[in-house]
Chains A and B, each alone.
Chain A
Amino acid sequence: DADVTQTPRNRITKTGKRIMLECSQTKGHDRMYWYRQDPGLGLQLIYYSFDVKDINKGEISDGYSVSRQAQAKFSLSLESAIPNQTALYFCATSDSLGGVGGTDTQYFGPGTRLTVL
């Protein structure tokens, strides 16, 4: 079984619709992240959470919101989808053992391909 799962895997929606992308993990990690990937732009951080009560904005949080329902679940919402939010979205986790000197390895889910028409 996959350690980090994302649903849905593909979604086509219309401008103005509210969309929720869900992420679940069985790795037991405290830290969870949402990234957006556009061709040629690498991975851009949207939001991250270090535990259930900790939510932080990333570099491109405008137009997005998140909810950390439990240690294992972190969902991303687009309140009113627009076409330039068409992208590949990845959820990731990392453990808290890395500390300052650790690797903080990111473990990615399979991604959700979102198309906003």
Chain B
Amino acid sequence: GQSLEQPSEVTAVEGAIVQINCTYQTSGFYGLSWYQQHDGGAPTFLSYNALDGLEETGRFSSFLSRSDSYGYLLLQELQMKDSASYFCAVRSGGSYIPTFGRGTSLIVHP
């Protein structure tokens, strides 16, 4: 089977940098995705890493280490609107279906 671990909650102040970690156990790993979900809203795609290293998209970056089965989402210059839940998801094992983690609730304080 597949399993993903991410912290349930992270808090930070506006303007700061925060890192949300995700560790996974799976076979036939293809890639790691990140999704953002505001309270009551639909999840939206943020990033995808198939290869080791850092992918940057504006204030958000995502990192993957395949050898460590580990990735993280880095949010810089935090804004109040970044308060949301963040889910990591893995594609693996010959399937196109992603398996989602339980999500990390990010709370940004003024």
Q: Which of chain A's residues has its CB closest to B102's CB? A: A42
Q: Mark A38-76, 1 if CB is under 8 A from B, else 0.
A: 001111110010100000001000000000000000000
Instruction: Chain A residues near B30: list those with CB within 8 A.
Output: 100-101
A106 at the interface (CB under 8 A from B): yes
Q: How far is the CA of A100 from the CA of B101 in the complex (A)?
A: 21
Out of A45, A105, A109, which one reaches B48, CB within 8 Å?
Answer: A105
The A contact surface, by secondary structure, is: loop
B45/A107 in contact, CB under 8 A: yes
Return the contact of A108 from the options B44, B89, B96, B103 (Cβ within 8 A): B44
Q: Which of B12-20, B35-43, B70-78 participates in binding chain A?
A: B35-43
Q: What is the minimal beta-carbon distance from B46 to any residue of chain A, in angstroms?
A: 10
Q: Select which of B35, B50, B102 is within 8 A of A40 by beta carbon.
A: B102
Q: Could you tell me the dominant secondary structure of chain B's interface residues?
A: strand
B100 A109 Cβ-Cβ under 8 A: no
Kindly supply a per-residue 1/0 record for chain B positions 81-110, scoring 1 wherever the CB is within 8 Å of any chain A CB and 0 otherwise: 000000101010000111111110000000
Cβ contacts under 8 Å, B40 to chain A:
111
**Residues of B close to A42: CB separation below 8 A:** 87, 100-103
- Pairwise interchain contact B43-A90, C-beta atoms closer than 8 A: yes
Q: Does B8 contact A (CB under 8 A)?
A: yes
Report the nearest B residue to A41, measured CB to CB.
B102
- Check: B7 CB closer than 8 A to any chain A CB: no
Known: A43-B43, A98-B96. 19 other contacts (CB 8 A): A31-B96, A40-B8, A41-B102, A48-B97, A58-B97, A90-B42, A94-B96, A101-B50, A103-B33, A103-B50, A104-B91, A105-B45, A105-B48, A107-B45, A108-B42, A108-B43, A108-B44, A110-B41, A111-B41
